């Protein structure tokens, strides 16, 4: 009897063991079966642009990539894009990153190259986004000018430039929106002592204490790269050389439909005439896909015109910019935006005066002081006498 009881107990244990082993094996098979499906589901979720995040680590990884990579779109530009937003670029980069991580986490070499260029550019323009944001108007427009040490010395061009805003008609309110880009530490220190918004742009590979011909060209062309960066940040800008005197508000002459509104050294009477000769010392650009592509192509064209600065290169490629990119270009009448090359005689119409067609800092300074003196005299005249006011000529540059 006892033997029968023992045998029955052993049989029950054997059956329990077999059932337990079968259950464990079933669970293992289920886990192995579900894991690939869950992996595919996660990969599919990453590839969607839904705004949701599966984990903090994945969210930060995607955002880090999106904020690091900034590059101009292709030259095939279509449609009208007033006020480019970074969200579109961010979505495209996130999508590319998600696709790469889905395929065994292999990042393509071209994406690595873009990330590297983006990181280098972010380092070159460190702090620019914050500086532009502080200076910009409510409609995301900033006035920018560039200076080096010689132009900011006491009594030099920057002093006259800022003074023109203070004594101009309706221009003092624009002064808080001027961002002075300094090209060397000495210029930056001087700028900080006299103006609210200063940004030091350090150009890689250039010694700020020495400017030979090639270094000077690098300095000139670097302005264009900085301007493109501002457009990529979603801001429009009005670039002005520091030897431009602001006597009235030029924004009243910037038309809504134009992508780029630019001053002219030789104006043939029609603001839409492509043959007008542009002066890149004073121009307004709206932020959209066309203008970002325009500044990219403009900068890349430097290699095709060795030894030239950005102005003659722009003149050489302007027809291509209009034809291929659809850039809407409009010229400013020198009767309003004048310069020593060409200017209107009527002080009642003048808006800005540029010391172009003039070589030598001392000559520029002499005649620009004369411009400001003439303006002060004009503003003190009674209204019935203002129509008689004329520019004082001859001068060192004005003939």
- 3-class SS at 210? coil
Is the domain of 369 the same as that of 295? yes
Q: Looking at the domain assignment, is residue 230 inside a domain?
A: yes
* Residue whose entry in the numeric block shows the structure tokens 């108007």: 137
Q: CA 260 to CA 287: how far, in whole Å?
A: 10
Domain match, 296 and 333 both:
yes
Q: Are residues 222 and 284 in the same domain?
A: yes
- State which residues form the domain around 77: 62-124
Q: Is residue 19 part of a domain?
A: no
pLDDT at 397: 87
In-domain check, residue 42: no
Side by side, the strands of the sheet bearing 260-266 are 198-200, 178-182, 141-147, 236-240, 277-285, 260-266, 329-331
The last residue of one of the domains, among 98, 124, 150, is 124
Q: Quote the DSSP letter at residue 212.
A: -
Q: Domain boundary residue among 76, 100, 124?
A: 124
**Given this model, what pLDDT does residue 394 score?**
72
d(CA 347, CA 17): 105
Establish if 208 belongs to a structural domain.
yes
Question: Is 71 found in the same domain as 217?
Answer: no
Q: Check whether residue 148 and residue 77 sit in a common domain.
A: no
CA distance 277 to 287: 23
The pTM of the full predicted model, rounded to 2 decimals, is: 0.71
What per-residue confidence (pLDDT) applies to 192?
A: 96
Give the closest residue to 162 by CA, choosing from 141, 202, 190: 190
CB 314 within 8 A of CB 278: yes
DSSP for residue 248: B
For residue 15, tell me if it sits in a domain: no
| Of the residues 81, 97, 124, the one at which a domain ends | 124
Q: Are residues 280 and 319 in the same domain?
A: yes
> Does 219 lie in the same domain as 194?
yes
Based on the domain organization, do 95 and 148 belong to the same domain? no
In a domain? residue 399: no
Domain count, the chain: 2
Give the tens place of pLDDT for each residue, 377-388. Answer: 999 999 999 988
Tell me if 312 is assigned to some domain: yes
The pair of structure tokens assigned to 144 is 């920018």
Residues 143 and 110 in one domain: no
Residue 220: the pLDDT is: 83
Would you put residue 28 in left (φ > 0), alpha (ψ -120 to 50) or beta? alpha
Asked if residue 195 and residue 107 are part of one domain, the reply reads no
234 lies in the same domain as 108:
no
In this structure, the answer to whether residues 113 and 155 fall within a common structural domain is no
Query: Where residue 152 sits, what CATH number does that domain have?
Result: 3.90.550.10
Indicate whether 6 belongs to any domain. Answer: no
Running DSSP on this structure, what letter comes out for residue 48?
A: S
Q: Along the 399 residues of the chain, how does pLDDT read in single tens digits?
A: 444 444 555 555 554 555 565 555 554 444 444 443 333 333 333 222 223 333 333 333 333 333 333 333 333 344 444 444 443 333 333 333 233 333 333 344 444 444 555 555 667 899 999 999 999 999 999 999 999 888 999 999 999 999 999 999 999 999 999 999 998 899 999 999 999 999 999 776 666 566 666 677 888 888 999 999 999 999 999 999 999 999 999 999 999 899 999 999 999 999 999 999 999 999 999 999 999 999 999 999 999 999 899 999 999 999 999 999 999 999 999 999 999 988 888 999 999 999 999 989 999 999 999 999 999 999 999 999 998 898 888 788 877
């Amino acid at each position: 009897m006892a033997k029968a009881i023992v045998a029955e107990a052993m049989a029950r244990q054997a059956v329990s063991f077999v059932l337990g082993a079968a259950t464990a094996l079933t669970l293992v098979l289920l886990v192995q079966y579900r894991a690939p499906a869950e992996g595919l589901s996660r990969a599919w979720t990453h590839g969607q642009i839904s705004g949701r995040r599966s984990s903090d680590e994945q969210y930060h990884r995607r955002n880090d990539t999106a904020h690091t990579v900034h590059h101009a779109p292709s030259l095939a530009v279509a449609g009208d894009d007033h006020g480019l937003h970074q969200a579109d670029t961010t979505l495209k980069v996130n999508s590319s990153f998600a696709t790469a991580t889905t395929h065994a986490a292999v990042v393509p070499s071209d994406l690595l190259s873009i990330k590297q260029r983006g990181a280098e550019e972010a380092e070159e323009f460190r702090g620019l986004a914050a500086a532009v944001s502080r200076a910009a108007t409510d409609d995301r427009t900033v006035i920018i000018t560039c200076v080096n040490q010689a132009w900011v010395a006491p009594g030099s061009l920057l002093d006259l430039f800022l003074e023109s805003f203070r004594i101009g008609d309706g221009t003092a309110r624009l002064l808080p929106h001027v961002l002075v880009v300094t090209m060397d530490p000495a210029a930056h220190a001087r700028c900080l002592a006299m103006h609210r918004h200063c940004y030091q742009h350090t150009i890689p590979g250039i010694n700020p204490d020495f400017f030979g011909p090639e270094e000077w060209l690098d300095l000139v062309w670097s302005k264009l790269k900085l301007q493109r960066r501002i457009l990529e940040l979603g801001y429009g800008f009005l670039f002005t050389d520091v030897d431009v005197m602001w006597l009235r508000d030029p924004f009243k002459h910037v038309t809504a439909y134009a992508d780029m509104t630019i001053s002219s050294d030789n104006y043939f009477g029609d603001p839409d005439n492509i043959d007008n000769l542009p002066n890149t010392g004073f121009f307004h650009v709206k932020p959209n896909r066309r203008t970002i592509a325009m500044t990219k192509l403009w900068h890349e064209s430097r290699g095709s015109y060795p030894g030239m600065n950005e102005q003659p290169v722009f003149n050489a490629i302007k027809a291509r910019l209009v034809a291929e990119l659809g850039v809407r270009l409009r010229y400013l009448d020198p009767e309003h935006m004048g310069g020593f090359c060409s200017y209107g005689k009527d002080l009642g119409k003048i808006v800005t005066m540029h010391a172009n067609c003039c070589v030598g800092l001392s000559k520029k300074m002499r005649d620009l002081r004369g411009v400001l003196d003439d303006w002060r005299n004009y503003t003190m005249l009674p209204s019935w006498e203002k129509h008689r006011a004329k520019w004082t000529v001859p001068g060192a540059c004005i003939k």
